[in-house]
Copies of this chain bind each other. A is one copy, B any other.
Amino acid sequence: MYVQFTGAGYCDVLDRSGSAGGLAQSGALDVLVAFERIGTRRSYARNDEIFAEGDRPDCWFKVVSGAVRVCKLMADGRRHIAEFHFAGDCFGFDSLPERLFSAEAVGDAVIMRFPRRATERLIDESPKLARYLREMTLRDLANAQMHMMMLGRMSAPERVATFLLDLADRRDASCALDLPMSRADIADYLGLTIETVCRVLSSFKRDGIIDIPNAHRIELRNRAALAEIGEG
């Protein structure tokens, strides 16, 4: 029911053709290649901070490998994870004078970093690129709105089922999911507690809907049942 977790990232147009944006066949390709030139690559260890709340957003990022969580802490320690990003996803494209969220590596990760100023110059030179970027952001916004509905109106089993299906859609995986994130990450993403996430997963397993060979691997045994739970 989600459209998609979050935009696949502008850079991916390099690998696609004939998609809605129709960028590849329009000369914007050179510009996209230019992106790769202005970026620098860096490795992060598990839980390393990529940027912090309050930082000046003078660059944006693309996940090369690994996974990233974008999150925010409340004064009393409650945490909320706004989105996860996987290989190929771009994130951290922000316009406010300071970051409202921080970003951290879920496990070991490799990330490309692009300076914002140079990027905006490139975008200004290409209306098509600008449009593509705009569409990506609007897609992210639509996803955020679907996520809001989940947090505001769905039960715990509905949230977990939706989460598993979305994750499966997003990463090719037909039925064997490997979850790079901890139960705490999942809980903070779904607006639940660790214990509730565990319990729901266990009950899905009892019902034969999924299998959990180990904590970070989940196999979808009955997608239809999951989908039904996810709908309410």
Contact = CB atoms under 8 A, between A and B. Distances in A.
Contacts of A50: none
A101 B151 contact: no
A75 interface: yes
A95 B145 contact: no
Interface string A109-140: 00000000000100111010011011101111
A134 B138 CA distance: 9
Given A127-B127, A131-B124, A134-B133, A74 B153 contact: yes
Given A127-B123, A137-B138, A145 B96 contact: no
A183 B137 CA distance: 32
A137 B137 contact: yes
Interface stretch (A76-84, A174-182, A216-224): A76-84
A220 to B, nearest CB: 22
Tier of interface size on chain A: 35 or more
A24 interface: no
Contacts of A137: 134, 137-138, 141
B127 A80 contact: no
Greatest chain B CB density within 10 A among A3, A145, A191 is at A145
A167 interface: no
Contacts of A144: 141, 144-145, 148
B80 A153 contact: yes
Contacts of A20: 97
A147 B146 contact: no
A29 interface: no
Contacts of A96: 3, 138-139, 142
A78 B232 contact: yes
